[in-house]
Amino acid sequence: MEWSLPHRRYNPLTDEWLLVSPQRAARPWLGAVEKPTPEQRLAYDPNCYLCPGNHRANGAVNPPYESVFVFDNDFPALLSQSDPEPQSTSPLLVAAPEVGVCRVICFSPRHDLTLAQLSAAQICQVIEAWIAQCQELGAREDITYVQIFENKGEIMGCSNPHPHGQIWATRALPTEIIKETRNQVRYLNGELPTQHGRPANAPLLVDYLREELAAETRVVFENAHFVCLVPFWAVWPFETMILPRRHVRRLVDLTEAERSGLADALQRLTIRYDNLFEVSFPYSMGIHQAPYDGHAHDEWQLHLHFYPPLLRSATIKKFMVGYEMLAQPQRDLTPEQAAQRLRALSETRFAP
């Protein structure tokens, strides 16, 4: 069905709704215009805290690394210790100590190469580093969840243009993971409000991918092991999700062939993003996987979220304000339209 009038869409991963208003896509724009991120960067920047051999802000010196480089964040949001748990006399004033690990992962020694500009083999090296970090951190008794993410671009708050991501490993489950765990369990048990008490035969995202492959309208591309699509419930204009074809709970469970397939998917998607507005496309990307708490988590399916903010061009950004902050998310461009535009793009990166 092609929607042309306002409607709501349900997100079964979070048990939340969003408003879609296709008729607003043609409205004139007199709002904020962002400056494009400059494309020209040096292969090595002597003033960059992340380039090989350079001094970081805390005085540490980077080794002359030639591939992926991982180190403990010099300004971490989490520490190995916390304050004692406070005694609260009110159920409305509750706090709890939290400990964890924050690390930075440089994708390449090159200051000027993003994921879209790395080879599939180089992206495989990044994936192997992600997996090694999950194996190490996930085995620790004080860690329950390993969140891998990348903020790309100045308008996404990235403080250093050298292509890199982060890993935050926490003792407690983060809020989004709590929601996704709860609703994937509810789906298996037939407890989502849209299921009418019918238990599922497979995990939520396994069944969801089957529906998307049958519909085809929101699929951007696929390979032997992964599918990239615009979720039916996407909030951001060109939001996408990468899903494995088989049931995979965690990043560490990927086979060698699947790791290569994921590298291929990451390369093809990020090139498409750059080609959309012929700019190094900003986004926040995160890998969602089952907790590392010793339980099987049969309900979980590994997946990657890409949340890019650009709306109409390289200079117009989508903001979450007003109704979206106070009521519920809203979008104008339908997910089907976004998928069609991404699908039509070349997989050869534009020449600046």
> Is the Cβ–Cβ distance between 281 and 274 less than 8 Å?
yes
Q: What is the pLDDT of residues 78-108, one digit of tens each?
A: 998 888 877 878 989 988 899 999 999 999 9
Q: Is 164 one of the catalytic residues?
A: yes
pLDDT of res. 340: 96
Q: Which of 162, 164, 225, 305 is catalytic?
A: 164
Q: Which residues of the chain have pLDDT under 50?
A: 29-30
Q: Are 318 and 311 in contact (CB under 8 A)?
A: yes
CA-to-CA separations, 110 to 37, 68, 169, in angstroms, rounded: 18, 10, 26
Q: Delineate the domains of the chain, giving CATH numbers in brackets.
A: 7-83+95-343 (3.30.428.10)
Quote the CA–CA distance of 120 and 267 in Å, as a whole number.
6
> According to the 3-state scheme, what is the secondary structure of 140-167?
CCCCCEEEEEEEECHHHCCCCCCCEEEE
Given this model, what pLDDT does residue 32 score?
57
Tens digits of per-residue pLDDT, 165-186? Answer: 999 999 999 999 999 999 999 9
Amino acid at 87: Q
